[in-house]
Chain A
């Protein structure tokens, strides 16, 4: 497939001559030898297009088709219904790119929906400003930590252990690199943040608290109560945007930054990505916010137009002094979210959130009535909950899979023994919920 590799040997020689290097090896001479020696060639043979397609199809056939399974997988990436209009709109060639244009004002259509996306995020979170998206929920949370440190000038932050473990890992990595000090706070028997631990750790040098609600276990946190305890310190909430269809927005409880994973809004599960980070805050912190912002304005003739604002603080302009290293974004994913939200509307989103809540609670009740199973936490939950099982989760999930049911996530991977995280969306029918409970009973 050499036709897809643009540089001919002549091209390479010309480029090397232009920069004064005699060979490719010399060009990369500053890469340490031990790194190069560790690097093994991929062992790819040149193949024809026909052969490549055949090989890739063979590999792809090893995947399982999720449509043939009843799925209760969640943990941050959920199986929600996506109406056909989403795929139709995002597939239009005017929109079909993952990137925000670098000379954006010629792309008024793109800026228009970015502005709409930001408006949706503000309305959902109850905040005043939102950016035009970030990589994912995890990096959005880590960037929120950075921003809180920029605004408060403080270096010590508290992190709830109820937050998705993968998010915490990303946050810890960012904090380590920026010399920020993190203290992790445990959760209590309800599955909510342990208030006593918070009171103990909440010293005057603490810049803020990071929580997730609904948290990794699906349990809704007492955002209002936590903000009261925190006072001036920042409250950073990672929220599931669909839950905000029925729950009071964190902004109304005084949250300072609200972030979240936007995959649930019109983006498929896709084996774990691409995802979509949501980021919203208060107007007064606008210039400390990472990312880009589409703004509405009027042109010389007084007609409504859109511009790209705030990007002047980004890496491609500010280099090392940028507010964040978010130099590209998830434009296509955020377009899908925008179309999805527009298709549902305010009432539609509320109904969808209610369906999630009711179905999840129906299933939880059925499972709780079974011998050998119990619901681990008694805190209020939205569409996800933890089931404690007497039998090992690994065997249960394996048996279910054999019956074409993806029963949830085995939490032993995350240090919680005998526990399965079960997610229910509007896509699950009453029959499927009953089937799941029946199968668990029979195992």
Chain B
């Protein structure tokens, strides 16, 4: 699966998509592949304040429970309630229907500290070696 050019990526395998001062957030195709079948996503509360790098979502797969770290700071505006009944969307469509939260960014500059699609692809290739 291709990594969308307009997304920014973290070393913990989250993606963030800028949408007019807001960031839509999810985990990458690589991350979902490593986790295996996802059976539960524990979503944050709407309105919750998060800091960049802070764990705010947990994803449970048949293999493990993993933390999802906020790629940017801000306030959680919306969460993807569809994942409550269909956690498998994260496996099936990690970069689109499997999004997890929409964050009102406190500092849009933070996005610049993240990796581009090209850098991220290089990053996971190195990790694979």
* Cβ–Cβ contact A312 & B61, under 8 A: yes
CB pair B42–A312 under 8 Å, yes or no, is no
Cβ contact within 8 Å between A287 and B61: no
Are B60 and A287 in contact, CB atoms less than 8 angstroms apart? yes
Q: Does A321 contact B (CB under 8 A)?
A: yes
Contact (Cβ within 8 A) A312 B64: yes
Residue A317 at the B interface, CB < 8 A?
yes
Assess whether B40 is interfacial by the CB under 8 Å rule: yes
Known A287-B42, A312-B61, A312-B63; further 14 A-B contacts with Cβ < 8 A: A287-B40, A287-B60, A312-B60, A312-B62, A312-B64, A312-B65, A313-B60, A313-B65, A317-B64, A317-B65, A318-B65, A321-B55, A321-B65, A321-B67
The 6 closest A-B pairs by CB, nearest first: A312-B65, A313-B65, A312-B64, A317-B64, A318-B65, A312-B60
Interface residues of A, CB < 8 Å — how many? 6
Contacts of B67 in A (CB 8 A): 321
Q: Give, as a whole number of angstroms, the nearest-CB distance from B120 to chain A.
A: 25
Q: Which residues of A contact B61 (CB under 8 A)?
A: 312
Residues of A within 8 A of B62 (CB): 312
| Bound complex: CA A318 to CA B61 (Å) | 13
Which residue of chain B has the shortest Cβ distance to A288 in the bound complex? B42
Chain A residues contacting B40 (CB-CB under 8 Å) are 287
Contacts of A317 in B (CB 8 A): 64-65
CA distance A318 to B58 in the complex (A): 11
Q: How far is the CB of B87 from chain A (nearest CB, A)?
A: 12
Query: Which B6-29 residues sit within 8 Å CB-CB of chain A?
Result: none
Bound complex: CA A127 to CA B62 (Å): 25
Q: What are 15 A-B contacts defined by CB distance under 8 Å?
A: A287-B40, A287-B42, A287-B60, A312-B61, A312-B62, A312-B63, A312-B64, A312-B65, A313-B60, A313-B65, A317-B64, A317-B65, A321-B55, A321-B65, A321-B67
Q: Within B24-68, which residues are at the interface with A (CB < 8 Å)?
A: 40, 42, 55, 60-65, 67
Question: Smallest distance from the beta carbon of B14 to chain A beta carbons, Å?
Answer: 17
Look across to chain A and name the residue whose beta carbon is closest to the beta carbon of B55. Answer: A321
What 0/1 pattern do residues 278 to 292 of A give for CB contact below 8 A with B?
000000000100000
Chain B: how many interface residues by the 8 Å CB criterion?
A: 10
Closest Cβ of chain A to B77, distance in Å, is 21
> Smallest Cβ distance from B96 to chain A, in angstroms?
26
Closest to B42 in A: A287
Q: Which residue of B is nearest A314, CB measured?
A: B65
Residue of A nearest to B67 (CB): A321
For the complex, give the distance between the alpha carbons of A318 and B42 in Å.
15
Closest to B62 in A: A312
Closest to B61 in A: A312
Q: Specify which chain B residues have a CB less than 8 angstroms from the CB of A312 in the assembled complex.
A: 60-65
Q: Which residues of A contact B64 (CB under 8 A)?
A: 312, 317
Residue of B nearest to A318 (CB): B65
> Quick one: closest B residue to A312, CB to CB?
B65
Which B57-115 residues have a C-beta within 8 angstroms of A? 60-65, 67
By CB atoms of chain B within 10 A, which of A312, A313, A318, A321 has the most? A312
When distances are taken between beta carbons in the complex, the residues of chain B under 8 Å from A313 are 60, 65
Closest Cβ of chain B: how far from A360's Cβ, in Å?
A: 46
**Please, how many angstroms separate the alpha-carbon atoms of A313 and B67 in the complex?**
11
Q: Which residue of B lies closest to A307 (CB)?
A: B62
The chain A residue with its CB closest to the CB of B40 is A287
Measured between C-beta atoms, what is the minimum distance from B36 to chain A in Å?
11
- Rounded to whole angstroms, the CA-CA distance of A312 and B63 in the bound complex is 7
Contact with B along A297-321 (1 / 0, CB 8 A): 0000000000000001100011001
Query: In the bound complex, what is the Cα–Cα distance between A313 and B39 (angstroms)?
Result: 13
- Distance in Å from the Cβ of B100 to the closest Cβ of chain A? 16
CB closest chain-B residue, reference A286: B40
Q: Which residue of B lies closest to A317 (CB)?
A: B64
A99 to chain B, nearest CB (A): 20
Least Cβ–Cβ distance between A10 and chain B, in angstroms: 37
Q: How far is the CB of B60 from chain A (nearest CB, A)?
A: 6
Q: Name the distance in Å between B62's Cβ and chain A's nearest Cβ.
A: 8
- In whole angstroms, how far apart are the Cα atoms of A287 and B61 in the complex? 13
Contact partners of B42 in chain A: CB under 8 A: 287
Q: Could you tell me the distance between the alpha carbons of A247 and B96 in the complex, rounded to whole angstroms?
A: 53
Once the chains are docked, how many angstroms separate the CA of A177 from the CA of B19? 43
In the bound complex, residues from chain B placing their C-beta under 8 Å from that of A287 are 40, 42, 60
Provide the A253-294 mask, 1 if CB < 8 A to any CB of B, else 0: 000000000000000000000000000000000010000000
A36 to chain B, nearest CB (A): 38
Query: CA–CA, A317 to B67, complex, Å?
Result: 12
- With A and B bound together, what is the CA distance between A287 and B43 in angstroms? 13
**CA A312 – CA B59 in complex, angstroms?**
10
Instruction: Please give the distance in Å from B79's CB to the nearest CB on chain A.
Output: 16
Identify which of residues 337-381 in chain A touch chain B, using a CB-to-CB cut-off of 8 Å: none
Closest Cβ–Cβ distance, residue A40 to chain B (whole Å): 44
Please give, as numbers and ranges, the residues of chain B lying within 8 Å of A318 by CB-CB distance: 65
Q: How far is the CA of A313 from the CA of B55 in the complex (A)?
A: 15
Q: Please report the C-alpha to C-alpha distance between residue A73 and residue B63 in the assembled complex, in whole angstroms.
A: 46
Q: How far is the CB of B58 from chain A (nearest CB, A)?
A: 8
* B-facing residues in A79-133 (Cβ within 8 Å): none
In whole Å, how far is A167's beta carbon from the nearest beta carbon of chain B?
29
- Complex Cα gap A72–B67 (Å): 52
